[in-house]
Amino acid sequence: MAFFLFYSLHQMKNIFILGALLLSLGLIVYLYQQLAATEKALQFAEQRFKDCEKVTFQLQNQLAPLQQKAADKAAK
């Protein structure tokens, strides 16, 4: 009877360890997926930022001559 009890406890311990390992593996996979999604979102945000910088630069270049004309008219 004692052997059966020891064997059962040993088996429960192994099952508990296996469950903990599976839970850890699941958590690692989940966190990896979250990291991959975050990296994609960061790349998208960086691209949008670069696009906004380009547009801002283009608008500034278009605005500069208009401001100069307005300043010249105001000076006259």
List, for residues 24-65, the tens digit of each pLDDT value. Answer: 999 999 999 999 999 999 999 999 999 999 999 999 999 888
Q: With respect to residue 5, please indicate whether it lies within any of the assigned structural domains.
A: no
Q: What is the pLDDT of residue 10?
A: 78
Does pLDDT of 12 surpass 90?
A: no
Q: Give how many domains the chain has, as a whole number.
A: 1
Total residue length of the chain? 76
Instruction: Give the tokens for residue 26.
Output: 């699941």
Q: With respect to residue 46, please indicate whether it lies within any of the assigned structural domains.
A: yes
Structural domain range at position 73: 36-76
Q: With respect to residue 56, please indicate whether it lies within any of the assigned structural domains.
A: yes
55 CB-near residues (< 8 Å, 6+ apart) = none
Q: With respect to residue 20, please indicate whether it lies within any of the assigned structural domains.
A: no
Q: What is the pLDDT of residues 14-23, one digit of tens each?
A: 899 999 999 9
In angstroms, the CA 56 to CA 49 distance is: 10
